Structure 1
């Protein structure tokens, strides 16, 4: 590009002149390339302004090819003038992250929309002064840091669960900056910062050490005391004036204005700065900040299609004015709030002070500004080659002869190498560059493993760039690596009133922790209420025997009776049931291992080409799952594999590749789905992916005419259909395959018993891949290794636009606005209403509210045929809004639905809301979820708690763990079948999984040691003090961790964690850890009791075989002065202590047990 005179002229004009340089003839693909070239060498920020979020997303993806670490998206906030109880913070986080990076002096390329730029931000100087930089060794009182975090908009919590929160425990300060991908732990020594480390949210353990961190605002609006007072006075004055002005206006809702403003002023009196205060921005800052201020005067501004920008700017202003006037009459806003959206013309006028360029596809006479210079480029778009290498080679030879510099984008390194080999076969040599920056001489061809939306040719510049889109028919989009889900700790959410399961005593209700003094020693006990008036105090060192009760549904369980054998009977019954299940699973597995199936060939060249045409970069889990599936297919065993992963995690692509592999070997593939609409969706996906290959795909369901079905059946029988996709219609007797090789089943648990029997028969001699969206806990997955083949996809996909979520009072005006906005942008809406009997009334209300919207209703009590007809019609956009029950939480994928409204959200569990929210935001445009609750309804305690949980979940992602646990339980129930649901409910989920794992090990012939209780009674205070760990949840969590100690490594790990999370361990807590270690070690060595009385510790063995006589003799001989053996049956060792005091006594006992352990191990080795 640097050798092209016209480009040099454009570059000089843009980089040296203030004002706008206009360039016409620029296609979409060129926009990022031309900008990147002009910015090189990169020494100042750049703002690219475009007309909508889709185009912003495309330009962002394109710019990442040239400046991967510098490109950043700056999205628009939704202007929500209604009062929301809570809203999600992802958009705020993205905006503030850009502002923070710029305010810190970083140079960025920011891609934004007109709407985003017209919205106010904190003034640059105010933002910069508010930012905190904290480094190791800094002197800053902890109380000052706490006050600063509150002022910056952070919420104080017991423990951090998401961005925007902070927590203080002793000398430890945890914070999750809103603009950071991870939280940090600051450890103080007196008033000095001793260390800074990042930590993991789920485990709460520290990870990497940091020299310093930046803490910037957590809200779009933060205030100091002066601004708060001035703003409050302004609001009060405006409110009183408006009341006066409208006293005779019958249309004006004065009561609502009074309610809204009085409540706001009350908040401000208390110094509360809530999220919705952003709507009152004009009262606090006369001159708001703008992205241009943050980028600095040296920034280069790019206008993408200025005519469209002007149109969008005018339309945004009109839409806001109409919305604002409507809200003014409703008493929701004050007149000054009309300034919440700036003017595009004012913005444009400011660009005369910046170096700017306007990029246009076509010349325009009216631009809304006077360009300083105008350039016209001669450029051409690139034809689609889509793997037609002959045609590509001809064009490349032409460009090579004409001395063009040619760049080919391959999407990935492996594709680059394959492409270079393919070109060599046509006698064309190509260089492979590692990045999109490098000199390519005229007449040379270079391959870059990158991606761009469109290719182009500069005819005058003799420069050609061909994107992966033109080469392969798809664009390789990088997915940002995101962490897998970690194992969840159920004790995180145990509260007083929760149901628990004690392995020996059964189901009870946990009432809390109580401190008791027994034999002069202070200990914490868990108080559990059982049936009747029975209560039981459980020592905290026995917490490994307790789990929260989790059943298959929300019904409270029956409490067990203490004493008697009711619980033992229930447990025995479950044990027998899981033994039977394990036996059946093993028998099935053995039968499959013995059966000989078809061994598929290794991957073909076509398979490689097909897989490379996938438009996204595969996640590691997808790659691993595919390897496991192919290994099964290429063996001569019959495959029966379960592929497990959440909706949108990429299961379908893995299944499509398996189907392609089967077809390459001349085999037919059947894809079985529970509903017609899923069959249709899969059909569309398969046809689209197989587009470039000669593969015939048919669909078989009740929506095909008799004639079409007949033709498909005939073609199937004759072998003229490669892939058939259908509902249980595929299981009918008249369906005959010519050469079936692979059966793919989507959500098998949703088929009836009869259909499952037919599937069971098919599984005997055909490779089967089953897909499920309900997660399966890793513990269960591990316990089923060797009897059920499971592949897991746990890596979430990248989310460019998160779902903007609101928790709001149900308000018809808000609902109308939300529906109309979605429909006007061509999208669709889910309205979840879980009262089937009243659904028609609700539909009528909605038709009156939004008469211009096409509404359909759907619920589970409809006949299957009617329901499917409605769902297909909605899928094909014959309706704009679907009023439905929770049926949509099951696997439906309609990317065009991007608004979700949940009526009476306080009646739903978090897991349901989490899954419902996952139904929107499945495309690259912004999605919205409104969790509504009834206005002024007096909520009962349960609903109040649930609503609070929903708010926290919405704002900080709190409660995600509960949601995941709920879904894992469902996943377990689905995997093991409905007959196991009752067993899971009888003993609780965790104990059920433990019993199942034991049964599987027994069936495999592995030894399962009988659980043995070792009583440890030492004269030492052993508890966790409230001043050390204040929150009961965290205390329970640590008690659980301590009770689970089994080895010296575990003991050290627990001590490390406690020091890391809570600071130096006080003596009673250290004693507790030591007692738990003694209990584990003594239990393993065969001791039944370790009891201290004064300076004597009696160590009683379980039986005479527990330790060998030789070990007993050696240990007594070596410690004659303080250890003696009483030869009773079972034997008893008596240890004499120097000190009866707690810590020394515990060290003496653990030291003696370790010596016995070493002797026992050396005895075994001999």
Structure 2
């Protein structure tokens, strides 16, 4: 920081700063510092991303960096003023960058006349992805006379409505829920998503990419185009006045491990260097006011993003000795004649929002569960004409080729079938009543489980808990000593726990959060609070390996507090066990980390039990832990998300917290989809070995796993491989994992048994064999095994033959590779994980009942059982059979994408009141334009359904002009419509129902 500041300041003082066109730095971090300095000195910085790809890599997994480079270069070349500087990490600038002629901006303004076909062609050639729904940058969607687009660098999308070829309105919309803002805007500027190419140039690059020999899964301009710019590219350090930092030069050797197509190394050595400064020093004053008072003879510059921040630091805005600069950058330096202090904190990288709309991903032939008829196979939605009127029906096939037609307004009666991650199911027989009997059996079982849960919770409510003083400075200091800032979720979870511990009631709280999101850090706050109050705590894990990992981590964090702690597991010797148990009984030992070995221990003053990976413990084991002392506080942690419905049901009985935000230092996992070859496997393994790492190799077939080990050893003769799967004895498996953690071998060849629970920071590459045979949730989980330290993780989804796999599998794999399928793929993975988590929480994950009726229905029934036993009355889910001779459906001309129509059918079928329908209708008009007649009539049909249910009507039918209503008590009433036209039938029905 100090050397860059001094160098650029001198250039500025000598009025030569415009000589510096390109500043070459070490990495992203140094680029951010340089950006702040350039801004402070009154120049405009444009920063290139740290691009760590090797020539020829598939760039789908680098799409974020490519977009950032496009964004920065477009800004730099289209910025008309002279005071601009391009800042680049050395890895990025060692490659040829697109020339200035590759960039442009396209303006669209209100009332412009635009040829939509020409605009489509331009956006395609500029690198935009055409999608059903715009959920992230560089995407565009065209539906009739509505165009949605999210240009690079924009947090919101823009919805442009056309009237014929004239721009009628431009409004922003939220990509989370697709709703547009009411205010119209005058114009928008669209920059290229890749490069501003004309059709001929775009096709030329695409043709060349197609002819290249590459193991890239999908060869197109997005995956390989950047490597084949030819005369459109230039090496910028040769063409611009450049300067380089010493740190960047010291990186040269690492950058040039792979030399292909990079700028000659000597060019960087010849670039003028920025030498380390001796005049300026970096500072981090604890008390800013006091620090300034020691340096009254120097010029004082304070940088702050707001006036409120200045007041918060007890500084006076009226102080004429201080020069206030209201900006958001960070700079903290002291020199011979000036001080620069920033009151701003580092802003964490903006993470992509999770899209709220979960698109319905029901595929043809998926298994579904109908509440009354059981498990069948979904065969899609088909239009059926009855009595001259067209309606859409969901087709579900049952045993013996029996077909069930469900009106789309009742699509909420079916749910995707999921059980233990397996999608295979046995279909039921229609009309046999066997499913109803099965449901009754499950209901009895569930009432017993729900009863146990409620009894335990009620009994604990009556007990006074151990009251812990959580208002201590030492606890705040502990959080500051973590070495990182807590996420908002972590801070909230800690507050929740402290409230519970100090309330005088017994705590029973569950914390869910993805692996690596900082659950253990939250738990350590609870442990410390209890121990500082001179009480005891136990930390229980499902495996010896996890116990060892946690024990070492806690020893480091708790070292300064000097209290005795121990580890008790299967590896502890008899003598050690005896001493630990004595220490616990006498109260001398304050904290023990261990496995099931802790289940029967006696303690002196136990106040807290923390259960890690609580879904791995059975109900009986958890009750044993609670029985250690009746007033003990229980804090459980689980890496599996909790389904929303179950969360609501259980939250009445126990405290719930969730960590949904990843820590800022966690890097994403770079994912690739590849076709299998020995050469590829060898390159992946050697690349990870070169950086001193280890690998997971997932081969999900126990029968052929030993043969796979032989294949790997043949490809790389000196490699050390160990095999692990469910048939290996637990003690042996633990030994293997220990060996892997101690770096005794290079590759852990495993079935999907490694999917959760392991934290092995040195294993940062994973190869998943036969990736097309895994569900998206499993692939998402397996990818989470790597990239768990500050090292970048690499995940390779490998398929045997890409010509043999289904289009659907290709779509899902490429989605995982480019991380851009936020609206469906990731959300679906979360849904699957949630469904799995629901079973685990109640300790019944292996129950055959779940397999018979599917998790979705199982959880719904558990929620009903809990509600019923808690004294809440939940109405049975009733339906109304509507047999009106009207054409009512979501027209495929109005909404062309099948999955979007299916999602809207699902949402409309779940509406319970008219306001929900109006809200969706408003959203549809916003997204797709004014509804056509059949769509409008379908919305009215949903309104008829809602009103009928409130009036206890079970059937509505029409014949000619007669409309008949049948109530739940079988009483009938028939009324007449003015004609048999659709609009008259609908109007008459609604009038009757609204009486």
Say whether the fold is shared (TM-score over 0.5).
yes
SS at match of 1:902: strand
User: Pairwise mapping of residues 287-686 of structure 1 onto structure 2 (< 5 A)?
Assistant: 287-288=233-234, 290=236, 303-305=244-246, 308-313=247-252, 316-317=255-256, 319-321=257-259, 324=260, 340-346=261-267, 358-360=274-276, 376-377=278-279, 379=281, 400=294, 431-432=314-315, 458=335, 460-461=336-337, 478-480=347-349, 482=351, 485=354, 489=358, 492-686=360-554
**What SS is found at the alignment partner of 1:276?**
helix
Whether 2:38 is the aligned partner of 1:81: answer no
- Partner residue, 1:166: 140
Give the 3-state SS of the residue equivalent to 2:506 in structure 1: coil
Q: Determine if the alignment matches structure 1 residue 116 to structure 2 residue 106.
A: no
Taking structure 1 as reference, are residues 204 and 809 closer, same or farther at Cα in structure 2, changes over 3 Å only?
Answer: same
Between 773-782 and 758-767, the greater mean CA deviation after superposition: 758-767
**Measured at CA, do residues 535 and 843 of structure 1 come closer, stay the same or move farther in structure 2, by a change above 3 Å?**
closer
Between the aligned partners of 2:88 and 2:783, the Cα distance in structure 1 is 26
Whole-angstrom distance in 2 between the partners of 1:1078 and 1:1058: 19
What value does the CA root-mean-square deviation take over the aligned residues? Answer: 4.4
2:91 is the alignment partner of 1:91 = no
Equivalent-residue separation in structure 2 for 1:690 and 1:615 (angstroms): 14
Give the structure 2 partner of residue 999 of structure 1. 865
Say if 1:554 and 1:833 are closer, same or farther in 2 by CA, change over 3 A.
Answer: same
Q: CA deviation at 1:995?
A: 2.1
Q: Residues 228 and 1066 of structure 1: is their aligned pair in 2 closer, same or farther, counting only changes over 3 Å?
A: closer
Q: Name the counterpart of 1:11.
A: 9
1-side partners of 2:731 and 2:722: how far apart?
A: 15
Q: Structure 1 CA distance, aligned partners of 2:874 and 2:22?
A: 65
Over 3 Å counting, the alpha-carbon distance change for 1:589 and 1:89 in structure 2 is same
Q: Per the alignment, do residues 836 and 498 of structure 1 end up closer, same or farther by CA in structure 2, a change over 3 Å counting?
A: closer
Q: Is the 8 A contact 2:699 2:751 kept in 1?
A: yes
For 2:102, which of 106, 110, 126 is the aligned residue? Answer: 126
**Secondary structure in structure 2 of the residue aligned to 1:882:** strand
In structure 2, the residue matched to 1:373 is: none
Q: CA deviation at 1:348?
A: 6.5
Deviations 1:158-186 (A, max 9, x none): 33455444332211223344544454433
Partner of 2:988: 1148
In the superposition, relative to structure 1, how do residues 1135 and 72 fare at CA in structure 2: closer, same or farther (>3 Å)?
A: farther
Name 1:939's counterpart in structure 2. Answer: 804
Question: Do residues 758 (structure 1) and 624 (structure 2) align?
Answer: yes
2:615 alignment counterpart: 749
Distance change in 2, residues 1:837/1:494 (3 Å): closer
CA drift of 1:515 comes to 1.7
- 2-side partners of 1:415 and 1:695: how far apart? 39
Deviations 1:430-479 (A, max 9, x none): 74589xx998669xxx99999989x8764x447597999xxxxxxx8654
Structure having the higher Rg:
1
Q: What is residue 975 of structure 1 aligned with on the other side?
A: 841
1:152 corresponding residue in structure 2: 126
In structure 2, which of residues 587, 592, 598 is the aligned counterpart of residue 719 of structure 1?
A: 587
Q: State whether structure 2 residue 160 is matched by structure 1 residue 186.
A: yes
1:1065, distance to aligned residue in structure 2 (A): 0.5
Structure-2-length-normalised TM-score: 0.88
Report the count of equivalent residues.
989
2 CA distance for matches of 1:826 and 1:932? 23
Distance 1:503-1:228 versus aligned 2 partners, 3 A rule: closer
Equivalence for 1:780: 646
State the 1:532 CA deviation: 0.4
- Aligned residue runs from structure 1 range 15-94, under 5 A: 16=14, 48-52=23-27, 72=47, 74-81=49-56, 84=58, 87=61, 89-94=63-68
Task: Provide closer, same or farther for how the CA distance between residues 1063 and 125 of structure 1 changes in structure 2, counting only shifts above 3 A.
Answer: same
Report deviation, 1:911: 0.9
Q: Given the alignment, which residue of 756, 760, 777 partners 1:894?
A: 760
| 1:694-713 → structure 2 map (5 Å cutoff) | 694-703=562-571, 712-713=580-581
Inter-CA distance 752–1093: structure 2 relative to 1 (3 Å threshold): closer
Mean CA deviation greater in 585-594 or 790-799: 790-799
Q: Distance in 2 between matches of 1:602 and 1:205?
A: 43
Deviation per residue, 1:556-595 (Å, 9 max, x gap): 2222222221121122222222222222211111111112
Q: TM-score, normalised by structure 1?
A: 0.76
Q: 1:1102 to 1:110 in 2, by over 3 A?
A: same
Question: Partners in 2 of 1:517 and 1:416 — Cα distance?
Answer: 71
CA positional deviation for 1:554? 1.7
Q: Residues 977 and 483 from structure 1, CA distance in 2 versus in 1: closer, same or farther, beyond 3 angstroms?
A: farther
Q: 1:518 to 1:848 in 2, by over 3 A?
A: closer
Check the 8 A contact 1:1045/1:1077 in 2, yes or no.
no
User: After superposition, what is the alpha-carbon deviation per residue over 1:989-1024, rounded to whole angstroms, capped at 9, x for unaligned?
Assistant: 332232222222221222222344333333321122
> Is this contact kept in 2: 1:91–1:804, CA < 8 A?
no
Which sections of structure 2, spanning at least 5 residues, go unmatched? Answer: none
Distance of aligned partners of 1:707 and 1:762 in 2 relative to their CA distance in 1, 3 Å threshold: closer
Give me the whole-angstrom Cα distance separating, in 2, the residues matched to 1:503 and 1:102.
59
The SS at the match of 2:375 is: strand
Structure 1 position 1029, deviation (Å): 1.7
Residue in structure 1 matched with residue 661 of structure 2 by the alignment? 795
- Contact 1:696-1:722 within 8 A present in 2 as well: yes
Bigger Cα displacement from structure 2, 1137-1146 vs 576-585: 1137-1146
Q: Which runs of 5+ in 1 are unaligned?
A: 20-42, 240-256, 325-339, 362-375, 421-429, 469-475, 1104-1128, 1157-1166
Whether the 8 Å CA contact 2:209–2:224 is kept in 1: the answer is no
